[in-house]
Amino acid sequence: MKMPSLSKTLRIRRRSKLFRMSRFEKAVVFLLILLSAFMLLPLVYIFNHAFKPYEELFVYPPTIWARNPSLQNFVELFHIASDSIVPVSRYIFNSLAVALLSVIVVTGVSALCAYPLSKHKFPGHKLVFGAIMLTLLFAPETVAIPRYLVVSQMGIMNTYWGHILPMVAVPVGVFLMKQFVDQIPNELLESARMDGAREFTVFLRIVVPVILPAVATIGIISFQTAWGNIETSSLFMQDEEMKTFPFFISTLTTNMANNVARQGEAAAAALFMFIPNLIIFLVFQSKVIATMAHSGIK
Amino acid sequence: MSESNAPILENRHAAGSAAAVRAEGRMARLFKEIWRYRLSYLFIAPFMICFVSFIMIPVVSAFLLSFMSYNSLEPPRFIGWTNFRYMVSEDLLFLKYALPNTFKFAAIAGPCGYIASFLLAWLISILRSGWRKWFALAMYSPSLMGAVAMTIVWLPLLSGDRIGYLNSILLEWGLISDPILWVTSKEHLMTSMIVVTLWSSMGIGFLAMLAGILNVNPELYEAGKLDGIKSRLEEIWYITIPSMKPQMLFGAVMAIVGTFKAGSIGTELSGMNPTPQYAGHLIMNQIEDYGFIRFELGYASALSVFLLLLMYLSNKFCWGLFGSKEDE
């Protein structure tokens, strides 16, 4: 008897809230559009800069939109590079190889580690997880010097391993994946074991499909890190042939402050760095948000 | 326990051997336990090997090296607290520039970026779900740029001559009469660094908080309304923040680590190393300076230990703010 009246009041309240919201919502949309303009303006401008022909870079007052878009900057970017000892295709190949390999290795290794940490109560699991949480609070970049010593002792300088291995241990990755594995009910794992599934089969057939959003997120993060990383190139690689594309760009742009001459090429290079990240993020965006819901530290 | 009549000596002997047997048994049981879980150890082994060799060993050896004098040619020599004493009393570059600059940079860029991420995430969460995606992408896009590309994006905007976009706009509006050296003068470099960092601070922490806000149980808001919460501000304070504390903490940890590890931004923006009159000199720059240019690895390690401690303490502080000890 009470139900209809309750639902009625609820409906009225909701409608009135909706009405009030829509005005508020408009203000929020307006504010957010302004803020996004601030965030996006540099990107819009770099996009145009990359397509500006040489003369337009020096125009005063500077313009945002390219009037006669051309590919001159991209051509020139590859041209300077072919003059140098190492062709630019080599840098790009290195970057792609390092980025793809580290995505595969990081996601695989983190998932393998997250599963027992969450579901097997092996002796010392608390200690291991505690250590990982503790390093979440640190940035490994701060200890670059001992890292350099470790890498040189291991003899992986100037190899692809030198690019990948130091980047494999991502505490955030294991942490996020463990949060996801925590959600899998133990009964599900138990019943699979009863049916005679081995641990590795359980991992592949049950755990991996459930944590797929987290795998995608960590994959994106590690791709971005590896794709934009110059630390390994500048510290662990002495061979010019083993360095990556972002490192090449950073040599291009040193002393670029107050120097317009190479801005077009630099913008083209920046665009080239940005596009893969953007595409990958767009494809997996919903997965990322779903994963981040479980990012809380308790 | 039961044999109260037995001679004391024998009793003690028996107890001793029983303890020994028990200890042995415990060891054996531990080993058996470890053996039983051998597969688990195999699973975590690849990660742990990398974790230990590239994170644990470097952190531990940084602690050890900070008490030594080491130039990478001669073997390290133990010198006690000398490095730290030098740091707090004689290293003028550190005391006059690196330390205050880092504090200033971290104290402004860290909290502001963090609060901005929260507010933006909250504003976005109000919208309809179709819109959210695009605004979230717009806010996150600077993080997709990556560090190298970021400076390329900002340099022409902040360029010191009249061709720089900011200067040209300000000149046109008549706000300034001469172009301002945004990145190459000591007065403005720090401001530019902070603005650029804020611009790119909507990173993984922002996404976490957005997801956290979207996951707050809507029934809580209804209940809150019945309990007399009137304004949206009260709603944020009494419902949203308490129910997404874990994500707030995650965001805070990411923000702290991100701001303290910043180092290259000053040199990249100004295009000079060291930055003009050390205006953008941060602790990370000081570490690189001593580590890779002067090869005083011991002292550089002492600096990184100091930085690690700073990170740890700030994180502990945030833990106190957002950590879930007892639910209120």
Judging by beta carbons within 10 Å of its beta carbon (0-12, 13-18, 19+), is residue A62 exposed, middle or buried? Answer: buried
Cβ–Cβ gap B46/A113 under 8 Å: yes
Q: What is the pLDDT of residues B172-217, one digit of tens each?
A: 888 888 888 888 888 888 998 999 899 888 888 898 899 889 888 8
Residue B271 or residue B226, greater confidence: B226
Structure tokens at B58: 């470097």
| Tokens read off for B327 | 């639910």
Its ipTM equals 0.82
**Between chains, do B58 and A143 touch, taking CB under 8 Å as contact?**
yes
pTM to 2 decimal places: 0.83
3-state secondary structure of B181: coil
Which residue in A60, A135, A140 is closest to B162 by CB distance?
A60
Q: Write down the residue that tokens 């004098």 correspond to.
A: B69
Query: A137–B151: do the CB atoms touch at under 8 Å?
Result: no
Which tens digits make up the pLDDT trace of B219-245? 888 888 888 888 888 888 888 888 888
Interval A32-66: pLDDT, tens: 999 898 888 888 878 888 888 877 776 666 677 77
Q: What is the pLDDT of residue B101?
A: 93
| Distance between CA atoms of residues B222 and B243, nearest Å | 14
Percent with pLDDT over 90 in chain A: 18
Q: Which residue of B has its CA nearest to A162?
A: B54
Distance of residue A121 Cα from the nearest chain B Cα, in angstroms: 8
- Residues of chain B contacting residue A60, judged by C-beta atoms under 8 Å apart: 162-163, 168
Which residue in chain A is spatially nearest to B122 when comparing CA positions? A28
The verdict on a CB contact (< 8 Å) between A270 and B53 is: no
- Show which of residues 118-157 on chain A sit within 8 Å of chain B, judged by CB atoms: 120, 122-123, 125, 128, 131-132, 135-147, 149-151, 154
Q: Cβ(B48)–Cβ(A118) under 8 Å? A: no
The radius of gyration computed from the CA coordinates of chain A, to the nearest angstrom, equals 25
HSE of A109 in the Cβ direction (CA atoms, 13 Å)? 24
User: Helices in A137-262 by DSSP H: which ranges?
Assistant: 144-154, 160-168, 171-181, 186-194, 199-202, 208-210, 212-228, 231-236, 245-253
Helix (H, G, I), strand (E, B) or coil at B159: coil
A276 touches chain B (CB under 8 A): no
Please list every residue in chain B whose beta carbon sits closer than 8 Å to the beta carbon of residue A135.
51, 55-56, 59
Contacts of B180 in chain A (CB under 8 A): none
Share above pLDDT 90 across residues of chain B, in percent, rounded to a whole number: 29
Dist. CA A134–CA B312, nearest whole Å: 9
CA–CA min distance B108, chain A (Å): 19
